[in-house]
Amino acid sequence: MDAHPYVSDLLEDFIQANSILDLSEQNYSEYNDVIRDYIDKHGIQVIVQMGAALIYPILPDLKIRRPGLRVVDMLFNPYGHVWDHFLFENSIDAVVVESKFMAGIVQKSTLIHGRDIRIVRSGTRIEPIHTALANPETRPLTVGYAGRLSEEKAPLEFVRIAKEASRKTAAHFKVYGSGPMESEVRTAIEQANLGERLTFEGFLPAAEALSFIDILVVPSRFDGRPAAIMEANALGVLTIAAGVGGIPEMIHEGVNGFCIQPWSVASAVDKICFLAENMNILTEMKAKAKTFAQSEFSYERMLTDYTEAFNGR
């Protein structure tokens, strides 16, 4: 409901291949039979469960009726449908996670000895947007927030960071995104009264938004493996991010960014000021960030790793 700015995937490729099962017009009481018949019709051997909460209670019956069926659950952070995962973990054969952090969460929480956990680090495929406005040589140092405006992403922390940093540096600050906290963020920006130095830009596609900034700040309260960090680095934008969830595994200190104490405005401001005062280091790190993304956030490597995981290697 709060993802309205994003373009929906109409799944046309699946429709053309006649490989989509639409449950939206089915009664929940019929899900089990409909899915079971679909599994039989298509000879499906593996179910990849990706946060479909209504499917978890069906898994035990599917496993009883189809003993050879394998179920793989994908978990990205310790919240949301993760609770359902552990309620029905006896019907799940393997778990795919994005980070060592999430692997540790599963290992500590599971009651299954020798739980099969596969780490597949997500990657990104993104190309830079070339526009005159995005040219860093024609703009002041620009620090940005780009992502969902929601409590766990802590966008109001970014506004606080901007207010404090604006007293010590001439940098400009931009907020890109949409979500349930949009009204609060707009109000906070107005109250900051920084004029053009702190602006709300609304929603833009990731590559376009990130092309207008030099430093991305990720002040999340909790997170998994944020796509924004990978996308930013791929465009040569370095990151200052809170060290929560899987984020510390994504940051090589002083190379593609800095990992700071969670929820510390002072730590973020210190890093921004350091980079503003050492533009040569900023320039070097932006180049290193792009190289880092090519090796550590490779889309092709991710696909290869998923292929190996689903093949049981």
Residue 95, helix vs strand vs coil:
strand
pLDDT attached to residue 132: 40
Closest to 95 measured CA to CA, from 78, 103, 303: 103
* Terminal-residue alpha carbon distance, the chain: 38
Output phi, psi for 120, to 5 deg.
-120, 105
Residues 216 and 210: beta-carbon distance below 8 Å: yes
Domains by residue range for the chain, with CATH? 12-123+299-310 (3.40.50.2000), 136-296 (3.40.50.2000)
Residue 189, helix vs strand vs coil:
helix
Whole-angstrom Cα distance, residue 131 to residue 274? 28
pLDDT attached to residue 133: 43
pTM of the model: 0.87
Report mean pLDDT in 10-residue bins for the chain, 313 residues. Answer: 66 89 86 89 91 89 91 90 93 95 96 95 76 61 95 96 96 95 96 96 91 95 92 95 95 96 93 96 95 93 92 75
Whole-angstrom Cα distance, residue 223 to residue 79? 9
Cα 49–chain centre separation: 18
Residues 218 and 228: beta-carbon distance below 8 Å: yes
pLDDT attached to residue 81: 83
Whole-angstrom Cα distance, residue 99 to residue 101? 5
Torsion sign over Cα 183, 187, 192, 195: positive
Q: How many Cα atoms sit within 13 Å of 253 on the Cβ side?
A: 7
